[in-house]
Chain A
Amino acid sequence: MSIPALTLKGVTVSYGGRPAVFSVDVTFPIGSMTAIIGPNGAGKSTLLKGALGIVPLLAGEARFFGLSYQDARRRVAYVPQRASVDWDFPARVIDVVMMGLYAETGFLRLFRQRHRDRAMECLSRVGMDAFAERQIGALSGGQQQRVFLARALAEAGELYILDEPFAGVDAATERAIIAVLKDLKAEGRTIIAVHHDLSTVPDYFDRVVLLNRERIADGPLEEAFTQTHLQSAYGGRLAAGQVADLAARVG
């Protein structure tokens, strides 16, 4: 078996003295497209932030392509939650996308025409090339999300980690983003996304991780996205009929 894109072993993260994520073991194979689902406060974003070293791990480890994150950083592209930044920041769309090139150019090397061309190419992949000179605060939520995805595309990673990429976006943006993600998968890249719309899981993803502070289940949809697992992850928060309906679409 080949080395997975990401392996989590006993990952434990605490927020303010309470464990937000407890001893999670999950494997994400190369070329897979995985949704991380679970109720609000289940620690979905925290799990990813812990893996990426954005918040400290209390215990456990994350291996990217068999390496520490430090050594695999250039192969991983991260798309934070759109709401985590202040969009009033004085920058244009193109400036934000160029941030995706910092790892490559370093701090001091000037951007050349080919860097600008690549940023524009990434923008046109998400249908935002006409907005390059626009102030980021003047964009809609969906457009901001596409700019974030374009920045990650500029990093040309092999593993894309997205935190709630479909939160609060319009239908056109959702279609545009999923089309890009499916293209990336077709190129053999790996996708991991925190997701909250259970109804689109079967259409968008081929694997799922069910999380509620602890790992409830993970694996291909037909194994993990089942009535029993959904029930135990969400408890009473989903109507029984809804769960049966979702699971039936996979089974």
Chain B
Amino acid sequence: MLGAEFVQLSLTPMLIGILSAVACALPGNFLLLRRQALIGDAISHVVLPGIVVAFVITGTITAWPMMIGAGVAALVAVGLIEVIKRLGRVEPGAAMGLVFTTLFAAGVLLLERTDTSAVHIDVDHALMGSLESLIWFDATGWGSLLDPVALAGLPPQLGRLLIVTVAMVLFLRVMWRGLVITTFDPGYARAIGLPVNWIGFALVVMTAIAAVAAFDAVGSIIVIAMFVCPPAAARLMTNRLVHQIWWSVGFAVLSAILGYILAGYGPGWIGAAASVSAAGMIATVSGVILALACLFAPERRRAQQATA
């Protein structure tokens, strides 16, 4: 099972799945504690109109215009959410829900009216990505990991996600104290002179970068699930933030590996012929992990205690 065929067909999709899951789960921890988990949802939906607009403008689907278009759309969405929150005086959740559904719908319409028959963007792709197709053609076995020619043929998504994940880790490390204190006690953070709004904005920008990089490879279903499920399950495992982050990374990796294997081989085990969407299965596994954490995790009683 782990021979040359595995390296060629499964290794890179699995690594990309793992990196996508981790890159999204890391900022998800802070979004969750700030009660902003929906912002990940919002950003990953507005990526679609961003990509379509970028395609309309440039006429190509090369990576960088798409990434930039998606990033700009994410920032526009974040700005719109702020404006609606302030002018409409509605609660943040409602403002986010409004913005992302509207922009996603606009993206679908735009996509319909645009001639994309020659290129590979459609709504299915936006939702579920194409994880299974990110295979490593040039690999002939494990030895290819040391072969520069074969390595050059790795799917470019892998490199991008690796860079984004490393950047995310660095961001959290450098900004750790600022993120912690502005999340826990924003009033005090302002009083000791922290740029509370800028730190919040930096977190959202990093979230957008993770969402865009992951979206390209795995679609928005995984992105949305990974922003919320692993951090939420991790919160139920521990009462210390550092430990929560590690648990969330563990759950993200577990979801990606287990989800990929179950999607590829699971149907075969129960006698069905075709495999199912890896993205869908990875998101499902993360949801099941959260459900199990709700039932069995050590700190699950916390919430009831606090209100009692």
- Using a CB–CB cutoff of 8 Å, the interface residues on chain A facing chain B are 49, 52-54, 70, 73, 76, 78, 80, 84-92, 95-96, 99, 102-103, 107-108, 135, 137-138, 151, 155
Contacts and interface: CB of A to CB of B under 8 A. Distances in A.
Given A88-B306, A108-B174, A103 B188 contact: no
B306 A91 contact: no
A53 B174 contact: no
B305 A137 contact: yes
Given A90-B241, A107-B177, A99 B190 contact: no
A94 B185 CA distance: 15
Contacts of B183: 89
B241 A99 contact: no
Contacts of B244: 90
A138 to B, nearest CB: 7
Given A90-B241, A102-B177, A85 B185 contact: yes
A76 B193 CA distance: 11
26 contacts: A49-B187, A70-B193, A73-B192, A73-B193, A78-B188, A84-B187, A85-B185, A88-B303, A89-B33, A89-B183, A89-B184, A90-B33, A90-B235, A90-B239, A90-B240, A90-B241, A91-B184, A99-B177, A99-B180, A102-B177, A102-B181, A102-B192, A103-B193, A107-B177, A107-B178, A108-B177
Contact of B240 (A73, A92, A103, A138): A92
Contacts of B188: 78, 80, 99, 151
B246 interface: no
Nearest to B175: A107
Given A80-B185, A99-B181, A107-B178, A54 B190 contact: yes
Given A107-B174, A137-B305, A84 B185 contact: yes
B238 interface: yes
Nearest to B183: A89
A54 B303 CA distance: 29
Interface string B155-181: 000000000000000000011111011
Contacts of A78: 188, 191-192
A181 B180 CA distance: 28
A99 B239 CA distance: 17
B239 to A, nearest CB: 4
A138 B305 contact: yes
A87 B303 CA distance: 11
Nearest to A155: B192
A87 B191 contact: no
Given A53-B190, A107-B176, A137-B306, A99 B185 contact: yes
Nearest to A89: B184
A245 B240 CA distance: 50
Contacts of B174: 107-108
Nearest to A134: B239
Given A52-B190, A84-B185, A92 B176 contact: no
A90 B238 contact: yes
B302 A137 contact: yes
Contacts of B178: 107
A169 B301 CA distance: 24
Given A78-B188, A80-B191, A89-B184, 8 more contacts: A78-B191, A80-B185, A89-B183, A90-B244, A91-B239, A99-B184, A107-B177, A151-B188
A89 B174 CA distance: 20
B239 A92 contact: yes
A89 B238 CA distance: 11
Contacts of A96: 184
Contacts of A103: 192-193
Nearest to B184: A89
Contacts of A102: 177, 181, 192
Given A99-B185, A107-B176, A137-B239, A87 B306 contact: yes
A224 B66 CA distance: 67
Contact of B191 (A54, A85, A95, A135): A54
A87 B240 CA distance: 13
Interface in B252-287: none
Interface string B49-91: 0000000000000000000000000000000000000000000
B240 A91 contact: yes
A52 B241 contact: no
The 9 tightest CB contacts between A and B, nearest first, are A135-B239, A78-B191, A54-B190, A90-B241, A80-B187, A52-B191, A85-B185, A89-B184, A107-B177
Query: Among the interface residues B176, B187, B244, B305, which one has the most CB atoms of the partner chain A within 10 A?
Result: B187
Contacts of B306: 87-88, 137
A173 to B, nearest CB: 19
Contacts of A84: 185, 187
A155 B188 CA distance: 12
A80 to B, nearest CB: 5
Contacts of A155: 192
A116 B306 CA distance: 28
